[in-house]
Amino acid sequence: MILLILLSGSQSFGQKTIPGDDWPLFRGDAQQTGVAHTTLPENPAVLWTFQAGDMFEASAVISNNLVYAASLDSNVYALQFDTGQLLWQLKAAAGLKASPSVHRGTVFIGDESGLFYAIDASTGKLNWTFETNGEIMSAANFYGKFVLFGSYDNHLYALDAKTGALKWKFETAGYVNGMPSIYDGKVAIAGCDGLLRLFEIQDGGELSQTEAGGYVAAGVAIWQNFGYFGNFENQVRSYDLDKAEPLWLYRHPRRHFPFYSSAAVTDSLVVVGGRDKMLHALRRKTGESLWTFGTRAKIDSSPVIAGRNAYFGSTSGTLYAVNLDTGQSAWEFDTGAGIASSPAIAKSRLVIGNDDGVLFCFGRK
């Protein structure tokens, strides 16, 4: 029997833990759990800043002691993680809203013109490009030889990561905004067509499609074989992906606003930010509301869990740490401009950019 509940208020299945020294993908890992395998000091200090030519809507990533960040000024930047010193930059054909991804020594990213790039992570040399017919907001994900991403031409793409050759593509009925999620040889997307879809990675065969309850901009956070995301109809939803069945649905009883932020998920919690200016913590198995934390502005930034805190930004420019046990503020920092991007956390440090084009690195001084 399908259980659909309306509430107010150790990983398996091929999930791979990313070491605490790296944060190579948007949301940290291929399942988009948004969980860092390191902790931050109680009161993180600014270690360095870097000024770009335009805002950071894309989130930074961290790999091999380098930070990779992309700005609406059309540049991909590689910075030394310890100092913020610029190592290289590459000028794209258009602005960059998609977050970069790093895999096997290569940086992958798409731009607003629909061009997808593979860049040598050490030198900034362009390896290849692939053209789509729409803006790329989706970060890339990986499985074996495949690199997978979505485009505003309504397609999910799978390319050969080494050569850029098209392996397969699938046309949906709407934009593919969120990063594809990968588990157990399958890829999951929830799109702007209001559907949750599951595909076989090797050949692109569609395994299932399920109603997502509305327009979805977020990625699907996966724990084992269960998927979690918010939509633009004020809902956070849970699914058994293998059975293509909805499990529970959460909706705040009074404040009805979209969820753009991608969720973070642990064995016990689902944590997600809303345009209702609140961070929501839900019991993972049931969707029961455990607490909400109110901010002064909407939350498009996707929370990252490190230790017992969830870290995220808001459009007021404040960076927050909220204690997962109490739902109370553990730390706040005013960055001086709105935050649309999400944290990258590795080696007890946090990197995030704001709307003034300032990239911050926080940690212990």
Residue 288 resides in a domain:
yes
Residue 18 resides in a domain:
no
Mean residue pLDDT of the chain comes to 95
Residue 332 resides in a domain:
yes
Task: List the CATH number of the domain containing 276.
Answer: 2.130.10.10
Q: If you write DSSP's letter for every residue of 104-124 in order, what string do you get?
A: TTEEEEE-TTSEEEEEETTT-
Residue 345 resides in a domain:
yes
**124-146: pLDDT as tens digits:** 999 999 999 999 999 999 999 99
Residue 14 resides in a domain:
no
**Could you give phi then psi for residue 65, rounded to 5 degrees?**
65, 25
**274-314: pLDDT as tens digits:** 999 999 999 999 999 999 999 999 999 999 999 999 999 99
CA 181 to chain centroid, in Å, comes to 10
Residues 6+ apart with CB under 8 A from 47: 84, 349, 361, 362, 363, 365
CA–CA distance, 206 with 220 (Å, rounded to integer): 16
User: Residue 223: its pLDDT value, please?
Assistant: 98
H-type alpha helices, 171-306: none
CA–CA distance, 215 with 302 (Å, rounded to integer): 17
**312-329: pLDDT as tens digits:** 999 999 999 999 999 999
Residue 106 resides in a domain:
yes
Residue 176 resides in a domain:
yes
Residue type, 253: P
Structure token pair of residue 22: 């790296």
| pLDDT of 5 above 80 | no
Residue 15 resides in a domain:
no
Tell me the three state secondary structure of residue 99: coil
User: Residue 7: its pLDDT value, please?
Assistant: 37
**35-63: pLDDT as tens digits:** 999 999 999 999 999 999 999 999 999 99
Tell me what percent of the residues of the chain surpass a pLDDT of 70.
Answer: 95
CA–CA distance, 243 with 229 (Å, rounded to integer): 17
Residue 336 DSSP class: S
pTM for this one? 0.94
Q: How many domains is the chain built from?
A: 1
* Domain hosting residue 251, numbered range: 5-9+23-363
Residues 328, 322 contacting (CB under 8 angstroms): yes
User: Residue 351: its pLDDT value, please?
Assistant: 99
